[in-house]
Amino acid sequence: MYKILLKILAAVVLIIFLGLLSLDPILKSFVPEYENKDNCLSKGTLQLICNLQNPEDFAEIPGEDALIISQFAGLAELNEGSIKTGVLSRLDLETKKIQDYEITFIEESGLGIGEEDCKPYKQLFPHGIDTHKKISLKNSNNFSPFLEEAHLLAVINHELVDRVEFFLFFNDDIVFSDSPKRTLFWIGCVAAPKENTYFNDVVIKDDVGGFFATHQYDKDWDFSKLELYNIFKWDTGYVYEWNKNSGFNIVENSQGAWPNGIEIIEETLFISFRMNGTVASIENGKRKNFKFRNYLEGGSDNIIAKGDELWIAVQNTDLGGLTCMRSSQIQCATPFSVITTDKSLNMMREYTFGDTAFGGLSVVYPFKDELILGSYKSDRIGIFNIND
């Protein structure tokens, strides 16, 4: 009986949703419609870096004024059921120049990071990413002195079964050849515990590649079911912890509506829940919620920890967002916000943006007097000067 009622409710929600997309002029006047600003032209509020593919997540490069950029494969729901492969790139924060990485596969690195016998991916569909300054060499059979300088990169990859891919990378002062191309060295992976696991974001917790990853929802849920769960703010997922000894375990008290971005400061884990305007902190199994929006005023996407502060990307989710679901639209100029809190989730500052030539904010990184803004559905990165 429960399943029948669920299907009926899902059908009703889908009918309402489809109806909203074709509202008559009278009803349409009650729903905001955001102007199509697909032309990548700076309008004054933001300076733009153009010709990208969904720069969805950032991770800082230790010791450099630079970021690794995940050029996201995209959401199938926004692309008529299909997604493109993506790339990983480097953004120089001083010059604002972007260079794509080349990938070199090392199948037997001897570093012991990831699962045993993990094979290289067939295609890269990147989503959330994270970097870690050091790797452990205690159990390594490879004694190259270069490895003392290596950093670790983790990347969510939406293959047929989701995976977390691991790469090594080096700062610019470590040179392996005369080639000007920058390289990531693939050294292993961890496959999702289930075929329908849908990872969103990842944070590395230690030098041996242990991590936390948000399971957003089950891959086999259709759009109508997702809409139903979103409307009622029912739990759709939780956070996984993985380490080499015990594999995957669900983090206690981590469930919620659309777990999205994830970060860690010291021993505290921070999770954003996209569909209920909440960021949670979890330490020793105890959870604290920071409620900053109701459903229609917006939810948070990625979180970046900078020192003891959290930088939270917040998207507007009012009904006007429904007009941005067309796959042909490159980006949608919906309002968005940037919220900063301390590690106790006390609000410190907020920046709000309205009618700008930018789409679907998913990540923000502070650099000097600038906010570097990324998006899950856009061809651009935005740069906001906080002194303007």
pLDDT of the chain, 388 residues: tens digit per residue: 444 455 455 445 444 444 444 444 444 444 556 666 788 888 778 999 999 999 999 999 999 999 999 999 877 666 666 677 899 999 999 999 999 999 999 998 888 899 998 999 999 999 999 999 999 887 666 656 778 889 999 999 999 999 999 999 999 877 666 667 899 999 999 999 999 999 999 999 999 999 999 999 998 888 778 778 877 888 999 999 999 999 999 999 999 999 999 999 999 999 999 888 899 999 998 999 999 887 666 789 999 999 999 999 998 765 555 556 667 777 777 789 999 999 999 999 999 988 777 878 999 999 999 999 999 988 999 999 999 7
What pLDDT score was predicted for residue 82? 66
Q: Is 16 inside any structural domain?
A: no
Quote the CA–CA distance of 344 and 47 in Å, as a whole number: 32
Structurally, the chain folds into a number of domains equal to: 1
Which residues make beta-bridge pairs with 247? 243
Q: What are phi and psi of 158, to 5 degrees?
A: -90, 65
**DSSP characters over 193-233:** SSTTEEEEEEEE-STT--EEEEEEEETT--HHHHHHHHHHT
pTM for the whole structure: 0.89
Token readout for 299 is: 């939810």
Q: What are phi and psi of 225, to 5 degrees?
A: -70, -40
Q: CA 107, 108, 111 angle in degrees (round to 5)?
A: 115
Residue 152 near residue 188, CB atoms below 8 Å: no
Q: Is 187 inside any structural domain?
A: yes
Q: Is 360 inside any structural domain?
A: yes
User: Which CATH number do you get for residue 254?
Assistant: 2.120.10.30
Q: Is 3 inside any structural domain?
A: no
Q: Is 129 inside any structural domain?
A: yes
Quote the CA–CA distance of 132 and 152 in Å, as a whole number: 5
What pLDDT score was predicted for residue 385? 96
Left, alpha or beta for 330 (phi > 0: left; psi -120 to 50: alpha)?
alpha
Q: What DSSP element (H or E) covers 8?
A: helix 2-21
> What is the domain extent for residue 216?
31-385
Quote the CA–CA distance of 208 and 212 in Å, as a whole number: 13
What pLDDT score was predicted for residue 83? 72
Q: Is 9 inside any structural domain?
A: no
Q: Is 57 inside any structural domain?
A: yes
Quote the CA–CA distance of 281 and 269 in Å, as a whole number: 5
Q: Is 18 inside any structural domain?
A: no
